Structure 1
Amino acid sequence: MLTFHSDDTGLRRARTELDGGELVTPYECPERVELVLGRVREVGLGEVRAPETFGLEPVLAVHDRGYVDFLATCWDDWQAEGKRGEAIAWMWPTRTLRDDRIPEHIDGRLGHYAMSADTAICEGTFEAAMASKDIALSAVSHTLASGEPCFGLCRPPGHHAASDQFGGYCFFNNAAIAAQHALDRGVGRVAVLDVDFHHGNGTQQIFYERDDVLFASLHGDPRTCFPYFLGHADETGRGRGEGFNVNYPMAPGTAFDAWSRALDDALARIREAGCELLVVSLGVDAFEHDPISAFKLTSDDFTALGRRLAGLGLPTTFLLEGGYAVEEIGINAVNVLTGFEAAC
């Protein structure tokens, strides 16, 4: 299986994350990519190739231009104010405030465009996000052209990024950009299957009123798990999108037996919808030893996941989402890919 990777994903190396009332070293770091890439090479998965450059047009197909412009200039604007740390939002347009006026000051713009305070913007963030979406676009383009499965080693991840918000380590929604790119090239309907422990709130928001993308997400129950405010089972789409958004919230401690029953239902929905392409938001933080998640999947369970995905018989693109810098991130991500290939 071909893997797309760029060293530019390492240009973002944030130093600060708000966690438990403390500023800590972020769990999302360049070492994640190194661990996965090392495993790709160790098992001989296939060629590792640099991505093509696609520019901003595919990004603007799913993201607001003002938001994209903000990401492009945020770090420079932050530094121009004489700020010494990294750019972190601390004020939001909450329920009692207006959100129809975007402030001019960088603090206000951060609050307007940030979903959460966990994610800092630092030097290299925009450049890494651009590289990550190019990886996603190169991977899905290869699948469209060849019919072959492909792996995009994306970083930063993308599934928490909404049309005009960043957070949860995500800036551009790589899976949404890839799905839209496929639609723009003639695919009739795309399935985006999100197996990350955390709900793909951004992907849901982008496609919630559309029927050309079926979004299905297996994740921790938002009553107890980030992102808390989206991902309930009664969120099923709106208007034309009714029935094309499927959430499977599950309790902390969920192991593979229960998780795989949700997976089987999601796969059945994808079959019934007549999807022509599968984009997998491949988060592997459902792993039992992931530091910021609460499911109990084992490394062998990820191999089984790959085999079940192959059973759909669809052209498939895998894009890395979460799964944090424990040694097994490489094993788990690559187990999905080798399980898929073995079952094809």
Structure 2
Amino acid sequence: MKAVFDERQRKHDPQFRLADGKVILNPDRPERVNELLRGLRQAGLELNAPMDHGMAPLAAVHTPRYLAYLKTIHARRSEQVADLGEVVPGRISPDRRVHYSYDAEAQIGFHNADTSCPISEHSWDAIYWSAQTALTGAGMILDGADAAYALCRPSGHHAYREVSGGFCFLNNSGIAAEFLRAHGHRPAILDIDVHHGNGTQGIFYDRDDVLTVSIHVDPAEFYPFYAGGAQECGEGRGVGYNLNLPLARGTGDKGYLEAVDRALEQVSAYGASVIVVALGLDAHEDDPFQGLKVTTEGFARIAGRIAKLDIPVLNVQEGGYMQPSLGDNLGSYLAGLQNARQSATH
């Protein structure tokens, strides 16, 4: 299995986060990359640089005005605010069915769901190459690979069509799935991050050509709070093509694997020709967010279940935050996927 990563993804170094009424250091640290690289080396993956697919695949999922905002907002706001470090919303639009303003401050409030996505001078470089990393992984699948791993940072699954949130700017998994669909595949997205993939759900909610499935802590008590309930199953043509499997906080391997089995049953029934795994590692028992209790070995077992589908697997990195087992969790998942594939061929 090949892996994809670009060093420019380290340039996004967010400082601001508001939590419990206090400004704290944003947990999406660039140092996460070192742990994830350790994990892919542990699994013996070959590391490749991404290809530049340009803006068109991004604009197949995100609106042009949102992409322009992400690319230019720091420079535009810097012209108005002396010594600007990061762009952070001071207000958030309560209704996006309103007149769209091209005023910089108004756009910041329009394009953010929360305050967790500060944009600094070099953030766009990281955001852009994170998406290109996912697209290059998708290209490997199109070229015949049975699996690939895209080390995407910043993550993407909380990003809506034109709204950032939860450390996410561009929906890398969604961009990759749409790219695969446009090239003849029937994709399913399986999100195994501890948080609901609300942005992914929002993007595909009224569509029946991409199946979206998310396993996560029940949003009644966990971020993103306002999406991810079991009753949310799509609308219009998309009714029945979105599946949420919310779990009680603290669920461990047994309950998690039961949810994986249910998810994969529907992926199989959908007739998916490729599965995009939104690979969150923050379901681990020692992750700082403390949502679920999946073990390091549990990630190998999850991967083994996915491998049994016997279709190509594109793994797109989502969450998983700084703790000693982060690299081990990735290594366990990737090795589990490879070992299950090798066992199936012998």
- What is the TM-score normalised by the length of structure 2? 0.96
What is the match of residue 102 of structure 2?
104
Question: How many angstroms apart in 1 are the aligned matches of 2:290 and 2:268?
Answer: 29
Are 1:331 and 2:331 counterparts? Answer: no
Question: How many angstroms apart in 2 are the aligned matches of 1:118 and 1:151?
Answer: 26
Quote how far apart the aligned CAs of 1:211 are: 0.9
Quote how far apart the aligned CAs of 1:63 are: 0.4
CA shift digits 1:153-207 (9 cap, x unpaired): 00000000100100111111000100010111111x2110000000101110111
What is the match of residue 20 of structure 2?
20
What is the match of residue 55 of structure 2?
56
Are 1:231 and 2:228 counterparts? Answer: yes
SS at match of 2:57: helix
Question: How many angstroms apart in 2 are the aligned matches of 1:281 and 1:45?
Answer: 21
Question: How many angstroms apart in 2 are the aligned matches of 1:205 and 1:135?
Answer: 22
Unaligned runs of 5+ in 1: none
Correspondences of 1:74-223 after superposition (within 5 Å):
74-83=73-82, 84-94=84-94, 99-187=97-185, 189-223=186-220
- Equivalent residues of 2:5, 2:151 under 8 A apart: yes
Are 1:29 and 2:29 counterparts? Answer: yes
Quote how far apart the aligned CAs of 1:107 are: 2.0
**Stretches of 4+ moved more than 3 A in 1?**
none
SS at match of 1:146: coil
Question: How many angstroms apart in 1 are the aligned matches of 2:264 and 2:120?
Answer: 38
Question: How many angstroms apart in 1 are the aligned matches of 2:70 and 2:332?
Answer: 34
Question: How many angstroms apart in 1 are the aligned matches of 2:137 and 2:54?
Answer: 15
Correspondences of 1:38-57 after superposition (within 5 Å):
38-41=38-41, 43=42, 45-57=44-56
CA shift digits 1:297-322 (9 cap, x unpaired): 11111111111110111111001000
Higher mean displacement: 318-327 or 75-84? 75-84
Higher mean displacement: 114-123 or 296-305? 114-123
Higher mean displacement: 19-28 or 66-75? 19-28
SS at match of 1:199: coil
Question: How many angstroms apart in 2 are the aligned matches of 1:190 and 1:274?
Answer: 9
Higher mean displacement: 75-84 or 111-120? 75-84
SS at match of 1:219: strand
The number of residues matched between the two structures is 340
SS at match of 2:278: strand
Question: How many angstroms apart in 2 are the aligned matches of 1:70 and 1:23?
Answer: 25
Are 1:276 and 2:273 counterparts? Answer: yes
Question: How many angstroms apart in 2 are the aligned matches of 1:61 and 1:191?
Answer: 17
- Equivalent residues of 2:43, 2:332 under 8 A apart: no
Question: How many angstroms apart in 2 are the aligned matches of 1:222 and 1:269?
Answer: 22
- What amino acid maps onto 2:189 in structure 1? V
Question: How many angstroms apart in 1 are the aligned matches of 2:260 and 2:154?
Answer: 25
SS at match of 1:150: strand
SS at match of 1:162: coil
What is the match of residue 70 of structure 1?
69
Question: How many angstroms apart in 2 are the aligned matches of 1:280 and 1:301?
Answer: 16
Question: How many angstroms apart in 1 are the aligned matches of 2:64 and 2:43?
Answer: 40
CA shift digits 1:108-159 (9 cap, x unpaired): 1111000111221112111101100110000011012113200000000000
Quote how far apart the aligned CAs of 1:44 are: 5.0
Q: 1:44 to 1:241 in 2, by over 3 A?
A: closer
Question: How many angstroms apart in 2 are the aligned matches of 1:99 and 1:89?
Answer: 19
Quote how far apart the aligned CAs of 1:330 are: 1.1
Higher mean displacement: 19-28 or 296-305? 19-28
Question: How many angstroms apart in 2 are the aligned matches of 1:75 and 1:293?
Answer: 33
- What is the TM-score normalised by the length of structure 1? 0.96
Question: How many angstroms apart in 2 are the aligned matches of 1:225 and 1:106?
Answer: 31
Quote how far apart the aligned CAs of 1:85 are: 3.8
- What amino acid maps onto 1:64 in structure 2? T
Identity %: 35
- What amino acid maps onto 1:173 in structure 2? N
Question: How many angstroms apart in 1 are the aligned matches of 2:97 and 2:264?
Answer: 38
Computed over aligned residues only, the root mean square deviation of the Cα atoms, in angstroms, reads 1.2
Quote how far apart the aligned CAs of 1:92 are: 1.9
